[in-house]
Structure formats: structure tokens, C-alpha cells
Structure 1
Amino acid sequence: MSLCSSVIKTLIFFTCSLHLSSADTHSLKYFFTGVTPGINFPEFTLVGQVDGAQFVYYDSNIRKMIPTTEWIQKYVEEDYWNRETQKLQGNQGNIKASVDILMQRFNQTTGVHTVQLMYGCEFDDDGTVRGYRQEGYDGEDFISLDLKTETWTAAKQQALITKNKWDNDPSETVGRKNYLENICIEWLKMYMSYGRETLERKDPPTASVFQKHSPSPEVVCHATGFFPKEVTISWRKDGEDVNEDVELRETLPNEDRSFQKRSILKVPAEDLQKHTYTCVIQHSSLKEELVLEVPKGGGLMPIIVGVLVALVVLVAVVAGIMVWKKKNSGERWKEADVKFSENRFTLSNS
């Protein structure tokens, strides 16, 4: 694998997975990555998110944890940034050691390799809480914590050493469970109170539908400018749901801290002439679902149908968001987040 393709794989690993939840779900997430040195990319990075919106960032080049949204900068004292910066500077050595350990386990001596961690929590308005902690290596699952059984799940044979050590260490099981399901939720609620005006806003999507004819006929439904992050895009044929030949892309952030998403439907051109296809968008900002009819005439001219509102443009600091998707299961990985000060990077090599 070339250096370029390896880095691209890493970034895709962290951006393609999403946890689709209701509009009444709130989440706190932290994403970490460690990369082998020698490339034009920080060896260690952290991105923190609340409800899918970035609010803190750190990397090994700037060596400082910085706020990336106004509300966190307004409410958190300077001592907080200094304290967490010191912790993250210490974690750089730990994650570097983890990269070295896993390269040894996989019998690798050269190349670009990555260690990735995502962990955190979320709660629904009905009181349901969830926590996650998952780790990956080179864009694939490595080990994760099962909070129900309070045990670790090894996705690779090379992770069994770590699993056995952590399963026998209460601080790696019961302690983390308490943090993810209780302490993390307290931090999330505190951050929600700080950024309520921003985080609880409802921005409706602007949507368009257009046809593409190369390399194969397909119809694209694109929604953008919406907040919060959760959105549903589906297809109908003559009023009936269509589930086959549909490619749902990941939800991506815009620079104004809103989101965008697209769904692609592969359909023969003759079917478009015989039947009525519609794209249906559901979002918490909409009183009723948004329905866009696919034009029968073809071409690339979009039909702009969505409701457009004035968006307050905040200072955007966009960083690589790190998430991976489950390789051997049809279920999507749920995004994981948590207060990074509780993180322990070093993997067992004994």
C-alpha cells in the first residue's frame, strides 16, 4: 500500500461511520489517532465533538488543546486548557508506543500505520444512556469494550493479549463502564448547558435532486445546511419505498457547522420515464417530510426544493474526524466519545 493510499484509508476510516439516532439524542465524542512519523501529518491528533459539532482540537504539531467554538471558550477557564494540554502531551508518548507495539504484533517494520481510538457517551431525552469505547489499527477493528458484559472484544488475533490483560483489570472494565455511563453524561450535560443556543438550534436542509449518466445511470439526492446532524434520506417509486440499489453516503460537516448528506439511487433511464421516483428527506427542523420528484427529462439541472434559512457562520476549525466502521458485520459502528483525560492509550505487549 502506498503512503498516500494508507493516509486516505485512515481518514475514510474516521469519517465514514455514523451512529444514526433520533433527533432527541445528544452525544459527547472524542476521536484520537496516532500515525507513524515521516509523513506530512501530525503524529498525534485529538478532535472533540458535542452533537457532531467540533468544539476542541489538539495535535502534536501545535502541542496545545484549543477551543474551536465560541461557547466553550466563553465558559471554560484557562486552567482547564493548560491542564488538558499537559495530559495530551503526555499521551503522545503512549500512543507512539502503541503504534510500535502493534507494528511488532503484525510483523511490520516499515510503512504508514495508524492507531485509532474513539470513545464517549450519549443520552436520549427519555433518559436512555449509552457509552462506547472502540479501538482500531490501520483502518480496521482491533478491540472494543462491551459494557453489557463488562468484557473486551478482540476483533483480531493480535488483540487477544490486550483483551486478556484488560479483562483481568477492573479499572479497564468496571471503571470505564462507570465513566462512560455516568461521569461522561455529566460532562455532556454541562457542555450542552454551555452551548445550548448553538447546539439546540434547528436549521432545515436545502435539497436538490439530479441525474447522472456516467458511468451508469443514477439519481442523486443531496441535502445540505441542516442541523442537528441526524437526517433520514429515502427513495420511493410510485409512492412505494425503494430499498435496493441505494447507496447512502456518510454525513459530512460544512464549514458553517451545519451538515450535508447525499443518497444515490441506481435506476435504468427507461424506468425514470415509466415511473415517478421521489427522494424523501426527514429532519427534526421540518414540520413535514420534504419530497423531491426526480425529473423525467434527465440532465444535470438540479431541482432546488428545500427550505433555506440564514445560517450564523461561526469560526470554523475543521479537523480530521476519526471514526471507523465495522468490517465483518452489517451493523454500523456507533460513534464513541468520552472525556479524554480518562483515556489510557498504551496497549499490552506482554
Structure 2
Amino acid sequence: MFLINYSKLCVQPGPWLPPAAWTRLLALFQLQLLHLLLLPQPLFLSYPLPRVFHTVVSEPGPGLPWYSRVGYVDDQVIFNYTSESQRVEPRSVWMAQNEDPEFWDFQNFWAQRWQAWFNASLNTLRELYNQSEGFHIIQMITGCDLREDNTTWGFYQDSYDGRDFLTFHKETMTWVAADIGAQITKRRWDAEIGDYQHWKRYLEERCIPWLRSSLEYGKETLQRKVRPTARVSDRSSHDRLTTLSCKVSGFYPRDITVTWLKNGESRQQETYSEGILPSGDGTYQTWVTMEIDPKIKAHYSCQVEHESLLEPLSVPWEPSNSLIPIVAGVITAVLLIGVIIGVVIWKKKHPGKEPGMRGFPGLAGPLTYL
């Protein structure tokens, strides 16, 4: 029988929103943050959106604090808090320069409140699932967005050890449960009318104003456009096929379309993408590959579409001529044979002499130097 002790499990209101907090799991903290950061955004989004990640682990280690709280606007980290530092620290110059000390004190106060709340939640969930040892993780992601028609959109997702728990829908003011345990908690929260108002107020009175000010502070960074560069290459693969690779790098913002064309027609269904990854310098990179039969004559090119480009960038693939090394080898062999024959003839005509620079025109030294 699945039982939950409500006196311990998320029945006390969270700092700003209803109590609940377990987001999507990945095995390592850094990979989980990267994965969520790079998730495709819904098509209706029009501006960079702020997101806050809360992470709690049962077994901290080097580079993996017990609790962390990281704030993003789009792909820019704007602040960071960990249980080790015990202080919210600005991570972007434009936030540090524009927000006053009161803002950071405010963020620090609530980060510590969240830390205490997550501590109780982790203990409760381990008891709930009868877990005494081992690595366990709780994470929560929250955020909001401002659409072009000036309407707002907010999201909340949580999970424990990779199992989705609850999602909040602001438009319908309802919780969506992912499993039996979440259904029990959902019914409890559905009865707490005030919890909905807490979450709605957070989205409308805190998150959206924060988004507006952040967009203004960071507009030079968030709205910058950096042109991509593209390079194509090829390599032999299985079954005598050739793998074409198109590497596109150095672009910002992140959204980009890279397509292989065959005789001017898109071959999207035949391509494989490595995904879009950070380059480490504030820009992004990606790879798109496609296998072809080199015996089939066709024109292949890599086409790149990005908002920094006035028109698509097209880089043609020039097949390497496999006959060149063969021809070069044959010519070298013929020349070598000719030299050997010449030396033999010279020796027959001049017995007892060694060919040198004078004795054999064209040779710059002994035969061993050839």
C-alpha cells in the first residue's frame, strides 16, 4: 500500500509557490543542468525566458554540492547559490552592475529558505521509498515567459530519481500528476486553494517583472548575433559508403538549421545530428552527418540557416579524387625504375667507376640518397 506522511511531505507552503519540488533527473549534476538548458523551447516562445534550477543530492562530492540554486535567462547564468558558499553570487556582469545589494540579499534569503525546505523533502522521500543509502536526487525547475501578445506563460516541473512527479499548469490552475504517489499529493494540493494563488502570484508578480528587467539589463548580450562558420569533410564508412560531415561553429543565438542537400533538395530524413552544444566561448556548435554511396554521382552541399545570416550559407562538398595517390605512386615507381636502369647501363659502360655528380649527370650524390 502506497502511503505518504503529509506532515512531512510537502504540506508546508514553499517560499513563494506551493510546496513541491522534484525536477527531472540526470545522473550527474552538471549534465542534468546542461540537458535541461539545451531542451528545445516551445514554438510559441518569443523571448529569452528565466529559469531557476534547484538541485539536492543525498551524496555530495567534489563539484557536486548538497544543494544548489542556479538562475538562467535564456542560456546565460545570472546567479548561483550552493550549500557550500551559503551566498547568492552574480554570474553575469550585466546583472551585477544593474541590481542593487537589496536584490541579492532578497535572493539569498529565499535561497536559504529553499535549502532548509529541500532538506526536509529529501529525508521524507527517502523514507517514503524506503531508501536509506545510495545516491538520490531531487530537482525542480521553474520559469516564465512573455509572449508577443503580452500574455504570460509559466512552468513548473519536478521529479525524484528520474521519476516525474508533478507539473503545474498556470492556465488551468491545476496540478498534473505523473504516478500514483503524485496523485495522492495532487489531491492534497488541490484542496489547498491558497497554494494556487501562491504560485500564480510568483509567476505574475515576481517572475515576469524579473524577466522584463533582465531583458533590459542583458539586451546587448542576449540580442547579439554571431555568424556561424561551416566546414565539410568526408570519411569512409561501412559497406563502401562515405560519411559526409558538416561542422558548424561559432554562432549565437543557439537556434540554427543545418541541412544536407542533394542536387539542391533537402535530405533531412537521411541526416544525423549531434545536437547543439556550447563551444565554451559563449557561442554554439553542431555537427550534421549523412551517409552516401560515392558511386552515385550527385552534388552535395551543407546549408546553414541562422538569424545572423541575410541568406542561407551553402558549403559544397568536393569529393576527394582517390586516383591522385595512385597516379603519384605509379609515377614515382616509374622514375625509380628508370634511375636504376640508367645506373646499370652506366656501370656497364664505365666498369670500375662509381657514379657521382660528375660521372652521372642528373644525380646529386650516391644512389643511397635517392
Moved over 6 A (4+): none
Count of aligned pairs: 294
Q: Does the residue aligned with 2:294 lie in a helix, a strand or coil? A: helix
Distance 1:156 1:16, change over 3 A: farther
Contact 2:59–2:134 (CA under 8 A) maintained in structure 1: no
Which residues in structure 2 correspond to 1:117-136 (within 5 Å)?
117-136=140-159
Counterpart of 2:251 in structure 1 is: 226
- Is 1:114 aligned with 2:137? yes
Contact 1:6–1:112 (CA under 8 A) maintained in structure 2: no
Whose radius of gyration is greater, 1 or 2? 2
Cα deviation code 1:269-304 (max 9, x no counterpart): 437x533333332222111122233443399xxxxx
Counterpart of 1:262 in structure 2 is: 286
Among 244, 264, 270, the residue aligned to 1:239: 264
Distance in 1, matches of 2:321 and 2:174, equals: 54
Among 188, 204, 213, the residue aligned to 2:227: 204
Which residues in structure 2 correspond to 1:83-232 (within 5 Å)?
83-180=106-203, 183-213=206-236, 218-232=243-257
Distance 1:7 1:125, change over 3 A: closer
Contact 2:232–2:317 (CA under 8 A) maintained in structure 1: yes
Distance 1:236 1:196, change over 3 A: same
Counterpart of 1:59 in structure 2 is: 82
- Higher helix proportion: 2
Contact 1:202–1:284 (CA under 8 A) maintained in structure 2: yes
Distance 1:62 1:183, change over 3 A: closer
User: Which has the higher mean CA deviation after the structures are superposed, 278-287 or 42-51?
Assistant: 278-287
Query: What TM-score results when the alignment is normalised by the length of structure 1?
Result: 0.72
Cα deviation code 1:244-268 (max 9, x no counterpart): 244444433343323x142433424
Counterpart of 1:341 in structure 2 is: none
Percent identity at matched positions?
29
Q: Does the residue aligned with 1:143 lie in a helix, a strand or coil? A: strand
- Aligned alpha-carbon RMSD (Å): 3.1
Contact 2:259–2:288 (CA under 8 A) maintained in structure 1: no
- Is 1:19 aligned with 2:41? yes
Contact 2:79–2:89 (CA under 8 A) maintained in structure 1: yes
Q: Which has the higher contact order (CA 8 A, sep 6+)?
A: 1
Distance in 2, matches of 1:195 and 1:9, equals: 25
Distance in 1, matches of 2:251 and 2:231, equals: 13
Distance in 2, matches of 1:32 and 1:97, equals: 14
Contact 1:235–1:280 (CA under 8 A) maintained in structure 2: yes
Distance in 2, matches of 1:22 and 1:276, equals: 36
